[in-house]
Structure 1
């Protein structure tokens, strides 16, 4: 199963670049990549997509520590949205705090917590796992 749209929400340009390279290299993962530098940009655009019946991303790679609206605030707002279909969220963080991983699991839309960096091997595992779940 190839995803149509994947969203990266992260303020680290090196992580964003590396993730885009991995996603583009593994062209069987997705067709489109949307990037936001913070949770506010992403929420504003997702709300617009919802309001205008545009296709929403199937998967989001979400950083926790960002300016303006962080990953936790983004998740809190996302769960309030009246989504027509589930968006799978992978929290991708450099946090070593086990509490962050535990907290992320309390959100229904979070599929997994991934420690940075995202690797080609991990991306392949996600592709296999995503094929087994209906988003």
Structure 2
């Protein structure tokens, strides 16, 4: 069973992602967090296969989350899931070895299925 962690300070985005992930495969275990500090503290216990991470959050933004993962040698796959369309953010995200892909919200279920069922890098539909 695949374990997934969602980190986004906006509850509605987590709700949409949980619904979409459950539509892809209801057996997936999804842990969603609006508090990135709590999410980070839970990584060890949950041991997710994949993390969907927002960038723009209060207290600890996505960059700080990634920096802490790097500092503590936590290697879970991370998909950036953000509303940012900044090319600079996209380029910066690739500086982290565990970032698989930079995705712009909202993510289509078809794209999620390719990521979660097949582990594929996928091209976003523009």
The TM-score range, normalised by the shorter chain, is: 0.7 to 0.9
- Contact in 2 for aligned 1:39/1:73 (Cα 8 Å): no
Residues 39-118 of structure 1 aligned to structure 2 (within 5 Å): 39-46=36-43, 49=44, 54-83=45-74, 86-118=75-107
* Residues 77-102 of structure 1 deviation map (CA, whole Å, 9 limit, x = unaligned): 0112244xx31100011012110000
The root-mean-square deviation of aligned C-alpha atoms, in Å, is 1.9
Cα shift readout 1:40-78 (whole Å, capped 9, x = no counterpart):
1112222xx3xxxx4500100000001110000000001
Q: 2:14 aligned with 1:25, yes or no? A: no
| Partner secondary structure for residue 113 of structure 2 | helix
When normalised by structure 1's length, the TM-score is: 0.81
In structure 2, list runs of 5 or more residues that go unmatched: 122-126
Matched residue pairs, number?
A: 121
Q: Deviations over 1:13-66 (max 9, x none)?
A: 1111110001111117x62111111321112222xx3xxxx4500100000001
The gaps in structure 1 that reach 5 residues or longer are: none
